[in-house]
Amino acid sequence: MKILSRLALFSLFLVLASCSPGTPGLLVDVPDADCADTTAHGTCIEDGLDQALFGEWVLVSQSLDTPAGSIVNPFAGRTTDFGGNGEYSEDYSTESTADVSVGGLTSTCEVDGLLNGTWEVDESFVLRIVPSGDSPSVTCSAGGSSAGSNAATTPLGFGPGTGNPPYVPYSYSLNSSWSTLTIVQENSITGVTTSYLFNR
């Protein structure tokens, strides 16, 4: 009976040891500490970065709410990539718009440009964008003639800056599966609100 009791106690000791924090083969993750800056979508802001933003996002639409009314940009499709090193890029070669036909002529536009800059999220969950200052290029052709402009979707980092060093502030939100991203800029000077909707 004593031998069986000792075996039972030894077995219980092994079970408890295998479940204790710090033991190899830990069965349950034990958080090291509470996160000081937890987002509404459940991530922790670490070193100024939100892991939910990491990776490529395709722009579905850009809309502008102005004092005169709302506008949806006819261009869409650019690819924005938030890197885990605090840098971002915007590839405009994936952006397009529908062809426009007027008076028997059809206008076709091509967009190009690779923009970049840096990003971070502060303790108030404000997305801070510091752009490189470049802009996309648009070439539209119709009837054998072509014309160039930069009238594509507005790059991130375009607008009034703040802080030192300066950055352009945005609010942002994600759905629970981190597959849809909304970025919003409130321009207090012009009274225009710009909203970007991205999907993975």
Instruction: Report all structural domains of the chain as residue ranges with CATH numbers, in order of start.
Output: 31-199 (2.40.128)
108 or 6, which is more confident: 108
Asked whether 151 and 138 are in contact (CB, 8 A), the reply is yes
pLDDT at 50: 97
Q: What would the pLDDT profile of 72-109 be if each residue is shown by its tens digit?
A: 999 999 999 999 999 999 999 999 999 878 777 788 99
Spatial distance between the Cα atoms of 171 and 4, rounded to a whole number of angstroms: 64
Lookup result for tokens 């069986």? 4
What are residue 170's phi and psi, to 5 degrees? -140, 150
Task: Report the SS3 class of residue 3.
Answer: helix
Q: What would the pLDDT profile of 18-57 be if each residue is shown by its tens digit?
A: 333 333 333 333 333 578 789 999 999 999 999 999 999 9
pTM: 0.79
pLDDT at 100: 79
pLDDT at 34: 72
Mean pLDDT, the chain, rounded, equals 84
Q: What would the pLDDT profile of 116-157 be if each residue is shown by its tens digit?
A: 999 999 999 999 999 998 999 999 998 788 888 778 999 999
